[in-house]
Amino acid sequence: MVEIPPSIVASEASSLRVCDVSKEFPAPDDPDVRVLALENVSLSVAAGELISLIGPSGCGKSTLLRLIAGLDVPTSGELLIGNEAITGPSAERGLVFQDPNLFPWLTVRHNIQAGLIACGMLQQKRHEVGEFMRLVGLEGFAKAYPHHLSGGMAQRVALARALINHPKVLLLDEPLGALDAFTRMRMQDEVLRLWQARRTTMLLVTHDIDEAIYMSDRIVIMTPRPGKIERSIEVALERPRDRSNPEFLRLRSDILEFLHFAGNANTAIASASR
Amino acid sequence: MLRPEEKMNAQVNAPVEIIAATERPAVGEVATSFRSNLPKLRLSTLLAVPTAVLIAMAVHLAISRKEPAVETHLYTMFLGSVLGAAILAAVVQGFWSGLRRWMRQMCPIIAAATALLCIWEAITTGLRLLPLPYFPSPAAVLQSMVNDREVLFDSTWHSLVLLLGGYSIGVVLALITGICIGWFARARYWGMPVLKVVGPIPATAWIPLAMVVSPSAVLSAVGLIALAVWFPVTMLTASGISNTRASYLDVARTLGAGRAYLIFRVAIPAAMPSIFIGLFMGLGTSFLTLIVAETVGVKSGLGWYVSWAQGWAEYGKVFAALVIMAAFFSTIMTALFKVRDRVLVWQKGVIKW
């Protein structure tokens, strides 16, 4: 099990509940037809917990994340942070995409402090910008523009930018998906370090089963058409985790097997044959 | 963006590699200020301008023997001073690498321009290939420019005031309408048809109406120039704003951004490259409108000067005004490029300028 019960460290106010949420979209080719992207999804994330959402493409992982971020509104159901309903985007729920989406017209420093300006807190919290640059190891790059950065560095800036407002929940939408294998493993440790230091509740969407097992307290498996939560698996391994530990490998083959039967067969076979 | 393999490299060698990469341009600039690091100019580059000037001078002296000395004296002096400057520069560049870099770039072009002057003189005064009152020699043009310098200076000043007045009013209005049309769905619905129907009418087509409506010719000219600028700048501002990447807006919202932040700190910076295209197009149409308005309405400025000189059949003055117009407009264009380089400094290295 996880050694530090997260609820002791973080306050209950940063727990997250998704209650029976469904989301419909108009079909891209015919706006009159509705496509069900999420069907009766319920999920409860304790404060300070790190949860991975995995599943084949089209299972609604990103849709769920956008709903939690408040960027979309559910067709039915309710989302709660602590006891408050989510009605729109807010600085208390940070979001990091696969593409770092740094503002290219701002330097690294100004990208990181963008959140402070947006919340009108720049005067009071200016000193924190430097702390966050140090936290993600970018002290020397304050004046660099985003296109000078490598993919890994850009993603670290994106993490710092999302963390500067001290969000209760950090939503990560395949943040490491575009990185090469080597950088990705370093960044996994980096994200874990940030999580352990700050105990932010984290939701990580990923395609990578190893990443999910390596990082999270719990893995939520989703299946497509319509997207729903199929299973939730506790990862009871000590951190730092060893990717070749027999328990790790057993968990990995369990999930693969499950996806093979429950999910999109093609996707599952493709990942199983790796 | 870096390609994947480059990303990998950059990541492996972490900070050092990246610092080197970001600082390289600066290091390069420092290095070129030592003269040993910049290769010497080739002899052909050094000699291009003096040679061209000497040839032009020889041609000029041979041709102008038949001409009255008063009209040719200035041109000889002009060529002489270009020659002097070229020789001085050839000596100084040995110590000054900035000048050397500029010369490497400019020497062939200046030499070619001098050669063109020489050809022009040969076919006008020399061979008399072109009908004379309409095509004076470069010597005659220079002569009229110097003789009429006060009126020319005054005309340039009036044109500048008119152009900058009209351009800045047009840009301010266009930014306001462009941002509204680009951001607010309702402004887009009502504004876009107006823009699409009225915008494409060339501003100069409004001249007859403007003359009737406006109390003074200068005011109507300012209005026409503003209108000419307004259309392209509005169009490109609106399209830049409405094409802001949705993910930038999403990110800003999750950072707690309100509407003002989204418009002024996300959409407008993101639209800047597009806005500058509009500013350049607007500048082009404003030149055109300025000259037409001055020719038909306003009784001052370079456009007025050209038609006035033409009325007196003084084509030397017409050409003189054209030369000044070229210098005037290209200077303003260059100034706008400098502003663009400053504002869009973050694009350096992303796109080819």
Q: What is the pLDDT of residues A99-110, one digit of tens each?
A: 889 999 999 999
Nearest Cα of chain B lies from the Cα of A257 at a distance, in angstroms, of 32
| Tokens linked to A144 | 């660099």
**Contact residues, B window 11-40, toward A, CB-based 8 Å cutoff:** 11-12, 15, 18-19, 21-22
Residue A202 pairs in a beta bridge with A50, A170
Label the pairing between strands A16-26 and A34-45. antiparallel
Pairing label, strands A169-173, A93-96: parallel
User: Domain boundaries in chain A?
Assistant: 13-272
What is the pLDDT, as a whole number, of residue B27?
40
What's the length of chain A? Answer: 274
- B330 and chain A: CB distance < 8 Å anywhere? no
pLDDT over threshold 70, residue B98? yes
B208–chain A Cβ distance below 8 A for any pair: no
DSSP state for residue B67 in the 8-state scheme: S
Into which CATH architecture does domain B149-347 fall?
A: Orthogonal Bundle (1.10)
pLDDT given at position B285: 93
**Residue in chain B nearest A72 by alpha carbon:** B250
Name the token pair of A158: 């994106």
* pLDDT classification of B29: cutoffs 50, 70, 90: very low
Q: What is the pLDDT of residues A19-62, one digit of tens each?
A: 888 888 888 888 888 888 888 888 888 888 889 998 887 788 88
Cβ of B6 and A93 within 8 Å? no
> Is B255 within 8 Å of A118 when comparing Cβ atoms?
yes
Closest chain B residue by Cα to residue A143:
B22
What letter would DSSP give residue B348?
A: B
What is the chain B residue with the closest CA to A171?
A: B254
- Going by pLDDT thresholds of 50, 70 and 90, the confidence category of residue B245 is very high
Q: What is the pLDDT of residues A49-97, one digit of tens each?
A: 889 998 887 788 888 888 998 888 888 888 888 888 888 888 888 899 8
pLDDT score for B288: 93
Out of A29-43, A255-269, B240-254, pick the least confident. Answer: A255-269
**What's the pLDDT at B193?**
93
**Contact criterion met (CB < 8 Å) for B8 and A144:** no
Tell me what pLDDT residue A270 has.
47
**pLDDT at residue A12 in the model:** 63
Q: How far is B12 from chain A (nearest CA, A)?
A: 8
Per-residue pLDDT tens for B141-165?
Answer: 888 888 889 999 999 999 999 999 9
**Do A47 and A13 contact (CB within 8 A), yes or no?**
yes
pTM above 0.95, yes or no: no
ipTM: 0.83
**Portions of chain B given CATH number 1.10.3720.10:** 149-347
Contact B293, B277 (CB under 8 A): no
Judge: B18–A141 Cβ closer than 8 Å, yes or no. yes
Kindly state the average pLDDT of the residues A238-250.
82
- Cβ atoms of A45 and A10 within 8 Å: the answer is no
Percentage of chain B beyond pLDDT 90 is 46
Mean pLDDT (chain A, rounded): 81
Q: Are A150 and A48 spatial neighbours (Cβ–Cβ below 8 Å)?
A: no
Chain B contact present for A117, CB below 8 A: yes
Nearest Cα of chain A lies from the Cα of B251 at a distance, in angstroms, of: 7
Decide if pLDDT at A3 tops 80.
no
The DSSP-derived string for chain A is --SS-HHHHS-GGG-EEEEEEEEEEE-SS-TTSEEEEEEEEEEEE-TT-EEEEE-STTSSHHHHHHHHHTSS--SEEEEEETTEEP-S--TTEEEE-SS----TTS-HHHHHTHHHHHTT-HHHHHHHHHHHHHHTT-GGGTT--GGGS-HHHHHHHHHHHHHTT--SEEEEESTTTTS-HHHHHHHHHHHHHHHHHH--EEEEE-S-HHHHHHH-SEEEEEETTTBEEEEEEE---PSSPPTT-HHHHHHHHHHHHHHHHHS-HHHHHHHHT-
Alpha carbon A155 to chain centroid, angstroms: 13
Q: Do A119 and B8 touch (CB under 8 A)?
A: no
pLDDT tens profile A130-152: 888 887 788 888 888 998 888 88
Q: What are phi and psi of A103, to 5 degrees?
A: -70, 115
Calpha distance B329→B323 (Å, rounded): 10
- CA dist., res. B297 & res. A125, Å (int): 59
List CB contacts of A103: < 8 A, sequence separation 6 or more: A110, A111, A114, A146, B248, B251, B266, B269, B270
The 3-state DSSP class for residue B351 equals strand
- B246 in reach of chain A (CB within 8 A): no
Share of chain A above pLDDT 70, in %: 91
CATH superfamily of A13-272: P-loop containing nucleotide triphosphate hydrolases (3.40.50.300)
Is pLDDT of B189 > 60? yes
Residues contacting residue B249 through CB under 8 Å, at least 6 positions apart? B262, B266, B267
Residue bearing the bigger pLDDT, A19 or B243: B243
* Any A CB within 8 A of B311 CB: no
Give dist(CA B5, CA A135) in Å, integer: 26
**C-alpha span between B255 and A93 (Å, rounded):** 8
Rounded-to-integer distance, Cα A206 and Cα B100, Å: 56
CA proximity to A226, closest of A3, A21, A1: A21
Query: Is A252 or B227 the better-scoring residue by pLDDT?
Result: B227
Instruction: Choose among B10, B19, B261: nearest Cβ to A140.
Output: B19
Per-residue pLDDT for B281 more than 90?
yes
pLDDT of residue B38: 63
pLDDT of residue B3: 43
Nearest CB among A104, A106, A151 relative to B2 is that of A151
A150 versus B333: the higher-pLDDT residue is B333
B349: nearest CA in chain A? A147
